[in-house]
Amino acid sequence: ATLEAEPGDQRLVLGELAALDRRKTASTTIEQFIGALPRELVCATTIWSQHGYIGGRDPVDNVLAALDEKQCAKPHAIWMTETGVGAARRMSERKRNDRAEQRSCRRLHRELTEWYEDERVTAAFQYTFREDDIFPTGLVTADLTAAYPALHEWQAWGMEARPKPEDPPPASDACSRAS
């Protein structure tokens, strides 16, 4: 009701979950979280935002299966709102060598390509630009002196490299560009 009272086209987006597949003391799985939400809330939106860190499991199928359990009239689209490369666990160390960074960047390219080809995924973002010492998944170092190869991959997907969203995915050679 609050959104409908506001001017313009208002949309409700739910989610922003980590891609957890095992319940822990201080967390729950995607399926458990969605399963505990009221059906009316889940069905009030057609967009689910989800984190999908590179190197972890792809959560798209699990999210959509849990959403389908709610039997909403409209299907949900997935926005991958955090696609960090690095150490996606709090207080973890990022492997800081060229080989590991290149490997992670190639995984990022494969994952972005898979999401691009999956009509259920309608957007992918990387919102951690600057590295965080506590949660190191950024595109540049914390002191802003160097870029990780993943930054070049994201640049290949946007800006002038792909002027139209329907253009084909970029070649995977962006990962090998110098920092």
What does the pLDDT look like over 153-173, one tens digit per residue?
Answer: 998 887 666 677 778 888 777
pLDDT of residue 71: 95
| Mean pLDDT, rounded, for 9-15 | 88
Residue 85 clears pLDDT 50, i.e. is over it: yes
User: What angle (nearest 5°) sits at the alpha carbon of residue 112, between those of residues 69 and 12?
Assistant: 45
Residue 131 banded pLDDT, cuts 50, 70, 90? confident
CB 115 within 8 A of CB 86: no
Residue 48 clears pLDDT 90, i.e. is over it: yes
CA distances, 3 to each of 7, 8, 32, 59 (Å): 8, 9, 27, 28
Record the tokens describing residue 10, joined without a space: 């208002």
Tokens 């494969």 appear where? 110
| Mean pLDDT, rounded, for 110-133 | 89
**47 φ, ψ (degrees, to nearest 5):** -125, 130
CA distances, 5 to each of 12, 43, 44, 45, 92 (Å): 13, 19, 15, 16, 44
pLDDT of residue 68: 94
Residue 178 clears pLDDT 60, i.e. is over it: no
Tokens 């970029």 appear where? 170
pLDDT of residue 79: 94
pLDDT single digits (tens) 88-113: 665 556 767 788 888 889 999 999 99
pTM: 0.84
CB 23 within 8 A of CB 57: no
Residue 179 banded pLDDT, cuts 50, 70, 90? very low
How far apart, in whole angstroms, are the C-alpha atoms of residue 168 and residue 161?
A: 10
How far apart, in whole angstroms, are the C-alpha atoms of residue 105 and residue 179?
A: 12
